[in-house]
Amino acid sequence: MNIKKEKSAIERLKAFEPETEPYYLCYSGGKDSDVIRILASLAGVKHEIHHNLTSVDAPETVYYVKSIPNVVIDVPHDKDGNRVSMWSLIVNKGLPPTRIMRYCCSELKEKGGKGRMKITGVRASESVNRAKNAGMIKIIGKPKTVQKTAENLGAEYEVSQMGGIVMNMDNDPNRRLVEHCYRTTTTMINPILDWTDSDVWEFLKHYGCQGNPLYKCGKKRVGCIGCPMQSGKGQIEEFDRYPKYKNLYIRAFDRMLKSHPDKDHYYSWKTGTDVFDWWTGFDSNQLSFFVEN
């Protein structure tokens, strides 16, 4: 196990701990969130563990999350108090979630903890985009205001391609910037940003954490059923395992088509099954959202 990285992650958590309230720890039920859960305990920092119920988590993940002590399960709602789920989002957005339009993540996973200092399990090695756009600290708010404050304090920062300020140095100006901004922005600390898969698994083994049972079924990553970030083959394999979710998606796509009659001329789809086949790549003839004139 990499003792140096463990100690460094613990020091990061201690350095940025809010004075007046607990950290908001983002817990998905995956291996990386198990690491930050254990690290927060080892660091002795005040924290609350929050899991957002997405409506498309695998049953194994839901059961596993519920087995973890002191997890707060949050159910997403809109500003009017209505429950938000994948099924309602598909209908309201008028399009299935895709790699380009990942509205599901922002609506179902990322809204919790506003005005709180959030701990995430983001790691640079997970994807090229994360490596480019994540830092040890990330502040998402009014860019010009945050940048002006950072410059006044002498904090070392970069502006990410996806918006927001990222910082990788644990110096005093950075700490002051975080303290200044976190209540009015979305501010995240990513203590295991520089960890590899091997670091993660060795750490969990050392602390006796078995992890989500889906990993023992061959899953390399644990996420939402039908996530478009995986391949069409991966989607099909998941729907073979969870056929009820396939039916739920098709029914949502049917409602989506019926709820947007003004967009009928855009779609080459006639039924929810058409949308599903296009979405998973099963129908190779449907190459576009739009009907060609």
Q: Is 197 inside any structural domain?
A: yes
Q: What is the mean pLDDT of residues 181-190?
A: 70
pLDDT band at 237; cut points 50, 70, 90: confident
Shared domain check, 48 and 170: yes
- 100 burial class (0-12, 13-18, 19+ CB within 10 angstroms)? exposed
Q: Is 182 inside any structural domain?
A: yes
Longest CA span, the chain? 63
Shared domain check, 8 and 119: yes
Count the Cβ atoms, other than its own, within 10 Å of residue 85: 20
Domain end residue (candidates: 174, 205, 236): 205
Pick 252 or 147 by higher pLDDT.
Answer: 252
Pick 133 or 157 by higher pLDDT.
Answer: 157
Task: Tell me the residue type at 21.
Answer: E
Pick 92 or 110 by higher pLDDT.
Answer: 92
Q: What is the mean pLDDT of residues 26-45?
A: 96
Shared domain check, 104 and 12: yes
Q: Is 292 inside any structural domain?
A: no
Domain end residue (candidates: 172, 205, 238): 205
CATH no. for residue 192? 3.40.50.620
- CB of 155 within 8 A of CB of 173? yes
- pTM recorded for the entire structure: 0.82
Q: Report d(CA 35, CA 10) in Å as an integer.
A: 11
Q: What is the mean pLDDT of residues 168-191?
A: 65
Shared domain check, 246 and 132: no
Shared domain check, 258 and 176: no
Shared domain check, 112 and 18: yes
Q: Which pair of tokens denotes residue 80?
A: 């009017």
- CB of 178 within 8 A of CB of 9? no
Any long-range contacts for 99-103 (C-beta under 8 Å, 24+ apart)?
99/228, 99/229, 102/228, 102/229
Shared domain check, 238 and 144: no
Question: Number of folded domains in the chain?
Answer: 2
* Sheet containing strand 47-52, strands side by side: 71-74, 47-52, 23-26, 117-119, 186-189, 137-140, 165-167, 158-159
| Residue 292 pLDDT > 50 | no
Q: Looking at 111-198, which runs of residues are DSSP E strands? A: 117-119, 137-140, 158-159, 165-167, 186-189
| Residue 52 pLDDT > 50 | yes
Shared domain check, 96 and 34: yes
Percent of the chain with pLDDT over 70: 77
Q: Is 213 inside any structural domain?
A: no
Count the Cβ atoms, other than its own, within 10 Å of residue 220: 9
pLDDT for 115: 80
Shared domain check, 199 and 239: no
Of the listed ranges 168-172, 175-179, 225-229, 247-251, the least confidently predicted one is: 175-179
pLDDT for 286: 43
| Residue 131 pLDDT > 60 | no
Shared domain check, 160 and 56: yes
Q: Is 141 inside any structural domain?
A: yes
Domain end residue (candidates: 181, 205, 229): 205
Q: Which pair of tokens denotes residue 87?
A: 């099924």
Of the listed ranges 50-59, 163-172, 173-182, 249-258, the least confidently predicted one is: 173-182
- Average of per-residue pLDDT values in the chain: 82
pLDDT for 140: 73
Of the candidates 277, 280, 176, which has an alpha carbon nearest to the alpha carbon of residue 227? 280
pLDDT band at 291; cut points 50, 70, 90: very low
Distances (CA, A) of 273 to 154, 251, 270: 56, 8, 8
pLDDT for 101: 83
| Residue 55 pLDDT > 50 | yes
Of the listed ranges 9-18, 135-144, 264-273, the least confidently predicted one is: 135-144
pLDDT for 40: 97
Q: Which pair of tokens denotes residue 32?
A: 């990386």
Q: Is 267 inside any structural domain?
A: yes
Shared domain check, 54 and 146: yes
Q: Is 185 inside any structural domain?
A: yes
Task: Tell me the residue type at 41.
Answer: S
Shared domain check, 226 and 91: no
Residues of the domain holding 51: 3-205
Q: Is 212 inside any structural domain?
A: no
Residue 146 CA, distance from chain mean position: 23
